Amino acid sequence: VCEKGFYRFDVIAYGKLWCHVCLSVPGEHNLLNALAAAACAVHLHISPQAFADGIAAYRGVGRRFESRGEYHGALLFDDYAHHPSEIEATLKAARAMQPRRVICVFQPHTYSRTISLRDEFARALSHADLCVITDIYASREVNTSGINGHYLADLIPDSVCVAGFDEARRFIADNARDGDIIFTMGAGDVCRIWDGFPASAPV
């Protein structure tokens, strides 16, 4: 059973009910991870109750669907996703939570990756209702191609580019609505957008 992105399910081992699992993290990818962990637990003769209690207590790790609080009724999150498959999985998990809108502030990571995976990024980010593209995080690279965030945003409907994190903060503050889910996303320093942002404490 999936309730607003959070899964509950029975684990059957050797034809018998082994335990019932309630996940505290959303997304089909976390369902699959939990099933793999259950298979290992059965093989290692872990107590079914201990496994069920442990998996229910797991609330994720830093920069993976990490709560950054609430603002004007919008739930704020940060995620490390920087590859198209990760982006798609995270945005689909957010969509399953049945928000009013999913807004993604994405920081592309390296010029070469942005160029080589441009179409894949555009398809993955289209799972957001509104996409805000920041400047590209250079990491180890030099921008010999002369591209910027517009290179990616031009392929994504309902997307905007921002010149810097201050502009991104203003955009979020101006556009957050009750029922929205808003992400910062990327492997660079995009999480700094939440520094000093007037949100409630993380949930």
Q: What is the mean pLDDT of residues 166-186?
A: 97
The proportion of the chain whose per-residue pLDDT surpasses 90, expressed as a percent, equals 95
Residue 199 — pLDDT band, cuts 50, 70, 90?
A: confident
Q: Interhelix angle for 118-125 vs 84-96, to 10°? A: 10
State which amino acid sits at residue 6: F
Give me 191's structure tokens.
């999480």
Residue 196 — pLDDT band, cuts 50, 70, 90?
A: confident
pTM: 0.88
41 phi and psi angles, rounded to 5 deg: -65, -40
pLDDT digits (tens, 9 = 90+) for 121-171: 999 999 999 999 999 999 999 999 999 999 999 999 889 999 999 999 999
Give every strand in the sheet of 6-13, ordered side by side: 2-3, 6-13, 16-22
The DSSP call for residue 129 is S
Q: What is the mean pLDDT of residues 103-115?
A: 97
Q: What is the pLDDT of residue 123?
A: 97
Q: What is the pLDDT of residue 185?
A: 98
Q: Is the pLDDT of residue 53 over 70?
A: yes
pLDDT digits (tens, 9 = 90+) for 62-94: 999 999 999 999 999 999 999 999 999 999 999
Average pLDDT, the chain: 95
Residue 203 — pLDDT band, cuts 50, 70, 90?
A: low
Q: Is the pLDDT of residue 202 over 90?
A: no
CA distances from 11 to 14, 48, 121 (A): 10, 9, 35
Q: Are strands 74-79 and 102-106 parallel, antiparallel or unpaired?
A: unpaired
Residues 76, 79, 82, 86: is their CA dihedral positive or negative? Answer: negative
Residue 104 — pLDDT band, cuts 50, 70, 90?
A: very high
CA atoms within 13 Å, Cβ hemisphere of 140:
1
State which amino acid sits at residue 189: D
